[in-house]
Amino acid sequence: MPMPKLRCVVERITYQNPENGYSVMKVKVKGYDDLVTLVGNLLDVPAGSVLLCEGDWKVDKRYGSQFVCQTWEEVMPATVYGIEKYLGSGLVKGIGPKFAQLIVKQFGLDTIEVIETDIERLYEVPGIGRKRVEKIRESWEKQKDIKNVMLFLQGYGVSTAYAAKIYRQYGKESIDKVKENPYRLADDIWGIGFKTADGIAGKMGYEKNDLRRCKSGIIYTLNQLANEGHVYAEEEQLVKAAISLLEADEDSIRKALADMARTEDLKIEDEAIYLPPFYFAEVGTANRLLALLRESEGNLFATRFNAAELSKETGITYDEVQLQAIEEALRSKVMVLTGGPGTGKTTTTQGIIAALKHLGLHILLAAPTGRAAKRMSEATGMEAKTIHRLLEYNPKDGYKRNEENPLEGNALIVDECSMIDIILMNNLMKAVPTSMRLVMVGDIDQLPSVGAGNVLRDIIDSEKIPVTRLTHIFRQAQSSRIVMSAHAINQGRFPDTSNGKDTDFFFMQQEAPEKVAEEIVNLVKNRLPKAYHRKTADIQVLTPMQRGTVGAANLNMALQQALNPSGVSLNRSGYLFRQGDRVMQLRNNYDKDVFNGDLGFVESVDLEERTLSVNFDSRLVEYDASELDELTLAYATTIHKSQGSEYPIVVMPVLMTHYVMLQRNLIYTGITRAKKICVLIGTRKALSFAIRNMTVLKRNTRLKERLNPALGQSVSPKQIRPYILGNPEDETAMAAEPTVGYDKGDK
């Protein structure tokens, strides 16, 4: 019996999982008064698309009647309504919803034919001028070029939005490139993951044990491991993970591994298997740090250091450990300064700068993120750059500052070093000449970097590089319950949760996740702005996870509904973006000069052009509708994403539903993001569990051993848990937001 068919126009997207394409849509169907719910793997179909779906009707207990789509194709609209929706969807530049309505009113069912064969007739439409017709003509021609590509790709279940991205990447070669190797899509195009590429390959007839498939699956697995922080995979760990992902034979996986080792697509060292960029980054970082240490110039100025003079100059009295740190910076070519909040890291850094300046040294300042660099500038009164800007990065040429063109200056001080991953550290070290001093500052107890490696901890644990650890909490900081709670948690003690009028640290007892979500909305919208005379933009919700009732995705929906419920919007991946929304960039985009974790506000939405402008610290950046997967709402964000940032007020849920992520360094990082007020909401049990939980996943790295071979390989392969790639529908698997793999330019 043939499957029921449904022809429909997509009205809006209510949910979309970007990883596997599972979507829930509201669609208009002829003969139905109400909108119909359509579910299935519809990848990234934009609103306005006309679909011909095959599938079946089912009744869901919670959501009622739905059409479950098995296969689908995108078709040209055949009704006036469909044509209007299609033209107004933003596929054709120059035609937004308003002009789509006017054009269709004029030409009805002949609209597509008119645009295709006699575009001059558009002048008959009231209000359309020459510029707009030219824009439409240009866009329509481009669409025709894309059409073949679209039709080809749609045969393999690829949506319009992805097809447009593929076309943008490969142009007229798109069909040949995809035919040649569909797996390259996962490497080359942001937003297309391995699973999407694998789905296309499966429809193209690729077998499970195909060598190209196995190789791509191995690279994907290693990139997933890198997203978890691992620089390499232990061989058995990798083979098991690849078998689980690909459902391929072990022999095929091992054959692909041997082949990739031979062609040097992988670097294998003992039992450790690396993607080449990570291997060269780890070896390069270690070699350059050791070369700095070996440089004999070292202790030129220590004898000329006068603590009393420095205090007089800066107006600061330094304690013994701070003076040791300043002396160490003068004595050593490389050093680390670490300590928690309130221990005087900033004051000590200022002392180091003053001492180096006094000796006539030219000093450079840098930090991994824009926000951290801005804070460093404010604290020191000197220009601090992001590491990318310091190294003069651009997408075409990569890092302009490198071995051939090193940084110019006598000393470099880098803040928030716990955030630096191994790839970035290597690129930084390439540009540091051996004549330069390097001071690394950071809080070692915070979360490690989002990218692969555990650079700062490995450098400290190697015992090769001088380290000053600040532990004394200064008197003014002792009055802050935020600071004292952070230190208590760090030492494994339960913080003071007695609340009270004059405190800056609160704990609200609430067990039910739905109630916690409601209370968070109430705190952000009403209670906190009223109590502290702050605007809602000063309040940041931080949560351990992305998924679940009190995960970032759900809280964002609820907060947007409460704070910014109406207005024109663009839809992407189930999110609506409106003017005034707080958003976060999810990947480094060097063309736009915005980076993973940057926060901004939607300044304007243009429905005609299908674009929106985001204000990042007074700089406007424009996004096309197809680029909106680079943004997410940021009323709430994961604690991982908040590294290197500070907010006046932080609200943080702590519940046992997050148990998979409840770790001491996570809670510590979240609390230390709050400058003025921190509110935890949840259960004492969950907070206590997090404080006790020190089982931070061991990251596979060998930087420590490369810096100090005497330490040997301290971890036997048996201690590394086998890595199983999570099911995208499993809440616990999506603990932190995904990060992209390595940049190809980093080899």
User: For 546-597, how does the pLDDT look when each residue is reduced to its tens digit (9 = 90+)?
Assistant: 888 999 989 999 999 999 988 888 877 667 899 999 999 988 787 888 888 8
Position 469 scores a pLDDT of 93
Nearest CA-CA partner of 42 in 147, 153, 159, 199? 159
Q: Cα dist. 617→70, 371, 594, 598, 600 in Å?
A: 45, 10, 11, 9, 7
Amino acid at 182: P
- Rounded CA gap, 169 and 573, in Å? 21
Of 588, 520, 599, residue with least CA distance to 745: 588
Residues in contact with 105: Cβ distance below 8 Å, sequence separation at least 6, in sequence order = none
Longest CA span, the chain? 92
Residues ≥6 apart with Cβ < 8 Å to 30: 7, 79
Q: Is 416 left (phi over 0), alpha (psi -120 to 50) or beta?
A: left
List C-alpha distances in Å: 179 to 146, 165, 301, 529: 16, 16, 64, 56
Tokens linked to 705: 């051993």
Instruction: Give me the residues paired with residue 345 across strands.
Output: none
Token output for 467 = 């380290």
Residues 463 and 359: their CA atoms lie apart, in Å, by 28
Query: DSSP readout, 432-449?
Result: S-TTSEEEEEE-TTS---
Residue 414: phi, psi to the nearest 5? -115, 125
Are residues 294 and 707 in contact, defined by beta-carbon separation less than 8 angstroms? no
DSSP state of 601: E
Amino acid at 604: S
| Phi, psi torsion values for 130, nearest 5 degrees | -60, -45
Cα 181–Cα 187–Cα 188 angle in degrees, nearest 5: 90
pLDDT of residue 533: 92
SS3 label, residue 72: strand
For residue 396, the tally of other CB atoms under 10 A from its CB is 7
Distance CA 325, CA 316 (A): 15
Give residue 173's identity as a one-letter amino acid code.
Answer: E
Count the Cβ atoms, other than its own, within 10 Å of residue 587. Answer: 16
Q: Report the alpha-carbon distance of residue 160 to residue 154 in Å, rounded.
A: 8
Give the pLDDT confidence score for residue 729 in this predicted structure: 30
Q: Measured between alpha carbons, how far is 331 from 355 in angstroms, rounded to an integer?
A: 12
pLDDT of 731 reads 30
> Hey, how many other C-beta atoms are within 10 angstroms of the C-beta on 224?
20
233 neighbors 721 (Cβ within 8 angstroms): no
Which one-letter amino acid corresponds to residue 661?
M
**What pLDDT, on the 0 to 100 scale, is given for residue 695?**
67
Q: Are 458 and 426 in contact (CB under 8 A)?
A: no
State the Cα–Cα distance between residues 274 and 280, nearest whole angstrom.
9
Query: 577 by DSSP, 3-state: which?
Result: strand
How many CB atoms are located within 10 Å of the residue 277 CB? Answer: 21
3-state percent helix, strand, coil for the chain, nearest multiple of 5: 45, 20, 35
Cα 395 from Cα 593, distance rounded (Å): 10
Kindly list the strands in the beta sheet with 267-269, ordered across the sheet, starting from the edge strand earlier in the chain: 233-234, 272-274, 267-269
pLDDT at 457: 93
- Sheet with 647-654, side-by-side order of all strands: 505-509, 674-682, 647-654, 539-543, 636-638
Query: Distance between CA 563 and CA 548 in Å, rounded?
Result: 21
d(CA 76, CA 50): 6
Two tokens, residue 689: 């569990």
Nearest alpha carbon to residue 88 among 151, 132, 34, 46? 46
Under-70 pLDDT residues of the chain? 18-21, 43-44, 46, 89-91, 143-147, 151, 154, 157, 159-161, 296-305, 475, 573-574, 695-697, 713-747
Q: Which residues contact 175 (CB under 8 A, 6 or more apart)?
A: 148, 149, 152
Q: Which residues contact 501 (CB under 8 A, 6 or more apart)?
A: none
Number of H helices, E strands in the chain: 27, 28
Phi and psi at residue 643, in whole multiples of 5°?
-55, 140
- What does the alpha-carbon distance between residue 500 and residue 458 come to, in Å, rounded to a whole number? 41
> How is residue 89 annotated by DSSP?
T
Rounded CA gap, 409 and 659, in Å?
Answer: 47
Residue 598 carries which DSSP code? -
Measured CA to CA, the distance from residue 559 to residue 522 in angstroms comes to 9
CB-count exposure of residue 241 (10 Å: 0-12, 13-18, 19+):
buried
- What pLDDT does residue 745 have? 38
Backbone angles phi, psi at 172, to 5 degrees: -70, -15
Q: Give the rounded percent of residues in the chain with a pLDDT score beyond 70.
A: 90
Q: Please measure the distance between the N-terminal and C-terminal CA atoms of the chain and give it in whole angstroms.
A: 55
Helix ranges (DSSP H) in 228-275: 235-246, 250-262
Q: Are strands 22-28 and 582-585 parallel, antiparallel or unpaired?
A: unpaired
CA angle 313, 317, 322 (to 5 degrees): 105
Q: Which residues pair with 364 in a beta bridge?
A: 412
Q: For residue 111, give both structure tokens.
A: 């609209």
Question: Measured between alpha carbons, how far is 745 from 747 in angstroms, rounded to an integer?
Answer: 6
Element (H, E) at 526: none
